[in-house]
Amino acid sequence: MFFNKYFYQADNRVGKMFPYVLQEKESTATKNSIEETNSPRQKCRKTFATPPQTRNSLTYREAVLDSPSPPDSPPKSPKKGPRRESIFDFKSEAAKKVELIAKSRDERRQRQADEKAFRDQMGAPEQHNPYYEFSRMISEFKSTLEFHPLKDSDPVIENQITVCVRKRPLNNKEKNRSEVDVITVPTKNQLIVHEPKHKVDLTKYLDNQQFRFDYVFDETCTNETVYKFTAQPLVKTIFEGGMATCFAYGQTGSGKTHTMGGEFKGKQQNFRNGIYALVATDVYKFLSRPPYKDKNLVVSASFFEIYGKLAFDLLAKKQRLKVLEDGKQVVQVVGLTERAVSKVDDIMDLIKKGSLERTSGQTSANSNSSRSHAVFQIILRRASSKQLEGKFSLIDLAGNERGADNSKSNKQTRQEGADINKSLLALKECIRALGKKGKHCPFRESILTKILRDSFIGEKSRTCMIALISSSVGSVDHTLNTLRYADRVKELVANDFSEANSGESEESQNENDVVSLEWDLLENSKNVIDSCVYFHKMACQLYDNSKQVGYSKYEFAKNWKNLLREMIDVQRVAYIKASEFCEMLEDEA
């Protein structure tokens, strides 16, 4: 039964992908009196299962002669003598042979192409495709699930922090490598990663790990749908004196720029359907309607890039920017272009200009863009006083695998990786702090979080994170890292996704908990180590300042107290995590 279902689905896909093949073969098959039907399944059988000798047995000449009224056959000659049956009778035997050879060669090539396409769709047998068995297991697993994916008509939840995941489909390269899709999205807020594994005796099995988020967008979702459930609900925040922030997080090539900047058609990017442009459009809609119409607000935009510890203005030929903290601990990006805009098209121009600047200034565009964070901001100010009313920050983050990559010997690459890692860890902790209200917010840890400090404080701040994942088996490690990161930003309990899966043993559930807590503890310890380095540096600076003539003992005591507070917070969290993990291991022993 499973095979039938699988075969039927594959047939349908092939039928959709190669309609021209079906038509052509169908007419040949009719001439050979092969079983006739209109069902897609049988059509495919005809196309791919017909033995070659049957399909080739009809020669071109026979086909022409047998046809009831050949369109171009010459009128029959009344003369006696050998009857000329067709125009081809004028050709020499050699020419006819050449024609036949050419025809059978074309047919052979077409057949090989069909067979290859079929293998690609069905998954090649084990000896050709190492994922064949896993692919079968995934299909079997899926056949036990009920699917209720997200619908456009589903309600939008108003959260202070929204965390969601978007799965991108397999691309052509991955399909050509026969990679399988290891991500299943059964419902609008759950997904399953089928991680291929081997037991010690080399038996293959799937480790099916489930995650739950506010929303999960499958490969059929468009940018507009993603926008509707993520950034769109945040637009009104900036009209009500708040800060809205939307991050795209994920490995290189997972679809961050596709989602934020606009869908790609080949190398062309449609900037109109990226989240940047969709936010801009809604901002102008809000501006034109009450009660915001009467607020007399003006719009401006800025676009910059953070690369390592440096920031560059994407609207001013990548001019270097300084990130400074003033006496009131307000972070300023000195020299950043803030362009006044009066309509959506003005913003579109800035998006195009900045996006092209981001990639064109580099020798290897993709690899460099994936190592920088791009920050596009739409700013609302009071027309009279220029006082800030609200700000929407949209961030296309650096590829997260860059942060984890320590293998490169090049010192600069390692440093870049460390900076990315630090900023992504700080970002996660800052969003968590926003969610936990009043907890320590380590925004000083990186330039990115320093610049976005306002996004993490205040009752009115709202944030959404879109974690982008690739569906291919070759990316499964990065995908799991992305999902774990997103999971930690907002820990939602993963419910059982189906009755069928509720049979997962308690033992394996415990194992998952241990692995997840261990991962968390290790990640947190890295964070503590980084923080210790920062504390040490700050403590030395404070101490050195105290040696200067006329130092303020009050300032010193206040700063020292604040620093200690931060240290205690970081260490307390680490202590709780370590204690929980110890307790769990002791219970198990």
Ligand X SMILES: Nc1ncnc2c1ncn2[C@@H]1O[C@H](COP(=O)(O)OP(=O)(O)OP(=O)(O)O)[C@@H](O)[C@H]1O
Of 196, 242, 253, 442, which one interacts with ligand X (CB under 6 A)?
253
Shortest Å distance, C-beta 258 to ligand X: 3
The torsion angles phi and psi of 192, rounded to 5 degrees, stand at -125, 130
Q: Which of 256, 373, 440, 490 binds ligand X (CB under 6 A)?
A: 256
Return the residue of 121, 190, 210, 254 that touches ligand X, per CB under 6 A.
254
291 cis-preceded (ω within 30 degrees of 0): yes
Region from 73-81, 88-96, 254-262, 382-390 binding ligand X, contact rule CB under 6 A: 254-262
Q: Binders of ligand X among 258-297, rule CB under 6 A? A: 258, 264
Q: Which is nearer to ligand X, 121 or 472 (CB)?
A: 472
Among the candidate windows 250-258, 301-309, 387-395, 508-516, which touches ligand X by CB under 6 A?
Answer: 250-258
How many H-runs (helices) and E-runs (strands) does the chain carry?
20, 16
Three-state DSSP class for residue 243: strand
- 169 near ligand X (CB under 6 A): yes
Binding track, positions 307-346, relative to ligand X; x by CB under 6 A:
----------------------------------------
Which C-beta is closer to ligand X: that of 130 or that of 149?
149
Size of the site for ligand X (CB under 6 A): 17
From candidates 46, 111, 168, 228, binder to ligand X by CB under 6 A = 168
The reply to whether 274 sits in an annotated binding site is no
Supply φ then ψ for residue 170, to 5 degrees: -60, 140
Q: What is the DSSP letter of 148?
A: B
Residue 252 annotated as part of some ligand binding site: yes
Dump strand ranges (E) for 59-137.
Answer: none
∠ Cα 395 396 402 (to 5°):
125
Shortest Cβ 589–ligand X spacing (Å): 43
User: Considering the rule CB under 6 A, would residue 255 count as an interface residue with ligand X?
Assistant: yes
Compute the distance between CA of residue 36 and CA of residue 25 in angstroms, rounded to an integer: 12
Shortest Å distance, C-beta 475 to ligand X: 11
Does the annotation flag 256 for ligand binding?
A: yes
Q: Which residues pair with 80 in a beta bridge?
A: none
Name the pairing type of β-strands 339-341 and 297-307.
Answer: antiparallel
Position of minimal CB gap to ligand X:
255
Q: Are 247 and 489 in contact (CB under 8 A)?
A: no
Residues in contact with ligand X, shown as a per-residue x/- string from 353 to 382 under the rule CB under 6 A: -------------x--xx------------
Cβ 423 to ligand X shortest distance, Å: 14
SS3 readout for 327-358: CCCCEEEECCCCEEECCHHHHHHHHHHHHHHH
Q: How far apart are CA 249 and CA 486, in angstroms?
A: 8
Question: Does residue 349 contact residue 279 with C-beta atoms inside 8 Å?
Answer: no
Among 184, 190, 257, 527, binds ligand X (CB under 6 A): 257
Stretches 25-33, 255-263, 476-484, 494-502: which one binds ligand X (CB under 6 A)?
Answer: 255-263
Strand partners, 390: 380
Is 250 annotated to bind a ligand? Reply is yes
Q: Does 471 bind ligand X (CB under 6 A)?
A: no
Would you give the distance in Å from CA 15 to the centre of its chain?
28
CA pair distance 188, 107, nearest whole angstrom: 46
Q: Is the dihedral of CA 82, 87, 90, 92 positive or negative?
A: negative
Stretch that binds ligand X, among 44-52, 122-130, 245-253, 305-313 (CB under 6 A): 245-253
Buried (b) or exposed (e) across 403-413, using 16+ Cβ within 10 A?
bbeeeeeeeee
C-alpha 274/C-alpha 262 separation (Å) is 3
* Contact pattern for ligand X over residues 427 through 466, marking x by CB under 6 A: ----------------------------------------
With CB under 6 A as the contact rule, the residue among 123, 233, 242, 399 that binds ligand X is 399
Q: What minimum distance in Å lies between the beta carbon of 227 and ligand X?
A: 13
188 binds ligand X (CB under 6 A): no
Does 413 carry a binding-site annotation? no
CA 549 and chain centroid, separation: 55
* Residues near ligand X (CB under 6 A): 168-169, 171, 250, 252-258, 264, 366, 369-370, 399, 468
The binding site for ATP consists of 250-257
The binding site consists of 250-257
